[in-house]
Structure 1
Amino acid sequence: MTASADHLKAMLNAHAAGDDDRFYSIALQVAAKSARQGHTRLAGELREVIEASRAEKIGRQSTPTPVVQPRGELASLLTADYPATQLTDMTLAESTQTALEKVLHEQRQRGRLERFGFVPVHRLLLSGPPGTGKSMTAAALARELGLPLFTIRLDGLISRFMGETAAKLRLVFDAAAQTRAVYLFDEFDALGADRASSNDVGEARRILNSFLLFLDQAPAESLVVAATNHRRLLDTALFRRFDLAIVYDQPSTSQAIEILRRRLAAMDTSEVKWADLSALTEQLSHAELVKAAEAAAKRAILGGSDAIDADHLRDALNERHLLRHA
């Protein structure tokens, strides 16, 4: 018999618990055992059935199935969300788009990679100025993979009492091992700052060493995403621990216009001469451009029109520049 009694029991338990990932993982173990026993044809057929079943499940999965909100101490460390943002909703540099599509492709083909002893990209470091789309990227990855987004609350994680932060970090990474999701450490420099620059070097080193250890052991089923506005503040030991580091920049002129057009897609923009606004978009972040577009749209709507007045949009962009220098 190809499948051992332990394999069969484990598969039944996984099926009863609705844990598809574990079910498929055990099924692949059975296929591997068949191959070792010389049943190569059966092993190949099993793998084909597993991959076809996984692909069909992904095709049927239009929205993620809700999970229970974090409870107990985890409730003070994580906030759970099911984002609606898709990767196609974002205006990104071509290199960034390509990198994120690679992450999604490897995650979707996780089973195939694991058959050959490899794991998909699952530890990401995102850096760049505020408002350039780092947190939105984590949301888009969660949406594309049909996973919840768990954002780590640094105010609950970082404690002034020695040893508590490391213990709370363990809780977060234990959750990542038990519940497949995207885990976002936003404003990551508060946790991963250069140990030599801290006033409490000993404690900072211990916290960072704990994080590095847990990150090394992070399961490939979950994505761990760290986002920072201050890449230069991070400890150098961090960079080699992440599978992929993506740097975000302010949008180019063409990207800025595309961001405005996308946000105003529901409005009549036929009278807007986009080229005339190019200079006003310089140095504005993705978030600032969105806010300018929304301000112009609300002014039009409250004035009883669905048409964007170019002057109103120009005023809104100028206002964002004034706020930057306030």
Structure 2
Amino acid sequence: MSNAKQILAMLRSKAEGDDEQFYSIALQVAAGEARQGHRVTAEEIRAAVDAARSQRGTKASVPIAFSRPRGDLDSLLDLREPRIRLADVVLSSPVRAHLNALILQQQRRDWLREHGKTPSRRMLFAGPPGSGKTMTAEALAGELRLPLFVIRLESLITRFMGETAAKLRLVFDEAQKRRGVYLFDEFDAVGSNRMATNDVAEMRRVLNSFLQFMEEPSVTDSVLVAATNHPSLLDRALLRRFDEVLRFEMPTNEEVRAIIKAHLSPMKYPKLAWKTIETTANGLSQAEIANAAEEAVKAAILSERNSISTTDLLHELQKRQDMKTVFIDDKGSIG
């Protein structure tokens, strides 16, 4: 027989409209029955879940529109409804392969749990600004049909002793109750080396709390994504807590082409001088290249044209290169 906690969790998930979580717990019950030798009962539960899912068709795994956080969580979590999928993001082959593996585990998490395994759910995205980390987190949520919750660091981190850790507890408790993708952007503000701050004692408490919360088992299998521009600042103890550490790099020439093509719609772009375009885009991030392509399209629309020329793109890409010099100090380094 299933225990009271499982029944309570099923009732809560049903009340919140999270059918996928309801079915997941039901399958956990089936797995428990099978381990006790009650094969017929286990198969009946699995068949009932399959029948219920088939009636839903392609319905999202959580209700749309997603319900917003309430109370204290309203100031800590920014709900974003994903509008893109992984196919909309230009990624390197290794990064895409790792993400596809995580998505498969998440989509078949019930099967894994029946075999006593849990899906990967803790990811660290590291790379320069604009390399696609935040966009990828949104695409991951879109692929899994889950809400994206971005943790508001300006509300999370306070100067009062113990308050930041208490707020972290609220966030992790919510992830235990509500399945979603939870993004800690600029994660080095939370996960920086415990000895690399003036307020060593307090930040050690915060980081220790974070490490402890990450180790807790998850009933919902919510995905935790931490993104940082400065991985060298992170405490080494964090690395073994993540299931995957993905490195985002500046785009290659092939990726430059893919990014530009993806953002030129609905314009035509015959006979572009790609080698010159790639040279001009060198050193720009995925976000900067995408913005340049978008601006070229806007200029063409306002000029009542239906095509983009090499000159259009070079002009916008060079503008992005010139903008970067604003942040270079007199010594030639980024300030």
CA deviation after TM superposition for structure 1 residue 270, in Å: 1.2
Kept after mapping to 1: 8 A contact 2:272/2:310:
yes
- Distance in 2 (CA, whole Å) between partners of 1:278 and 1:176 is 42
Q: 1:200 is aligned with what amino acid?
A: D
Which stretch shows the higher mean deviation, 19-28 or 8-17?
8-17
- Residue 241 of structure 2 is aligned to residue 241 of structure 1: yes
Evaluate the alpha carbon distance shift between residue 301 and residue 50 of structure 1 in structure 2; reply closer, same or farther with a 3 A threshold: same
Number of positions where the alignment pairs a residue of Structure 1 with one of Structure 2: 325
Alpha-carbon spacing, 1:110–1:51, altered in 2? closer, same or farther (3 Å): farther
Aligned to 2:72: 73
- Secondary structure at 1:150 match in 2: strand
Q: Which residue of 1 aligns with 2:277?
A: 277
Deviates more, 1:281-290 or 1:14-23: 14-23
- What are the equivalent positions in structure 2 for 1:106-185 lying under 5 Å apart? 106-185=105-184
* AA of the residue aligned to 1:82: E
Aligned to 2:293: 293
1:322 is matched with which residue?
A: 322
Map 1:4-153; keep pairs closer than 5 Å: 14-15=13-14, 17-51=16-50, 53-54=52-53, 57=56, 59-61=58-60, 65-153=64-152
Structure 1: 5+ residue stretches without partners:
none
> Whole-Å Cα distance in 1 between the matches of residues 72 and 7 of structure 2?
35
Unaligned ranges ≥5, structure 2? 327-335
**Paired residue secondary structure (2:208):** helix
User: 1:312 matched to which residue of 2?
Assistant: 312
- 2: distance between equivalents of 1:155 and 1:33? 43
SS of alignment partner, residue 196 of structure 1: coil
Identify if the C-alpha distance between structure 1 residues 26 and 104 changes in structure 2 by more than 3 Å, giving closer, same or farther: closer
1:83 Cα deviation from its structure 2 partner:
1.5
Q: CA RMSD in A?
A: 2.4
User: In the TM superposition, what whole-angstrom CA distance separates every residue of 1:114-147 from its partner, at most 9, and x where no partner exists?
Assistant: 1111111111100000001100111001111111
Instruction: Work out the CA distance in 1 between the residues paired with 2:57 and 2:134.
Output: 24
Q: TM-score, normalised by structure 1?
A: 0.92
Distance 1:9 1:73 in 2: 24
Q: Which amino acid aligns with 2:278?
A: S
Mark the CA change 1:151 to 1:49 in structure 2 (over 3 Å): closer, same or farther: same
SS in 2 for 1:197: coil
CA deviations over 1:29-52 (Å, ceiling 9, x no partner): 442344345332442353354356
Pair 28,156 (structure 1): closer, same or farther in 2 beyond 3 Å: same
1:211 aligns with 2:232: no
Deviation string, structure 1 residues 173-215 (Cα, Å, up to 9, x no partner): 1111111111100000011111111111111100100111111
4+ runs of 1 displaced by more than 6 Å? 2-10
> Structure 2 CA distance, aligned partners of 1:262 and 1:50?
39
- Deviations along 1:92-128, one digit per CA (max 9) or x if unpaired, are 1000110111111100001011111111111110000
The residue that corresponds to 2:224 in the other structure is 224
**Structure 2 CA distance for aligned equivalents of residues 97 and 52 of structure 1:** 32
TM-score by length of 2: 0.89
Equivalent residue, structure 2, for 1:303:
303
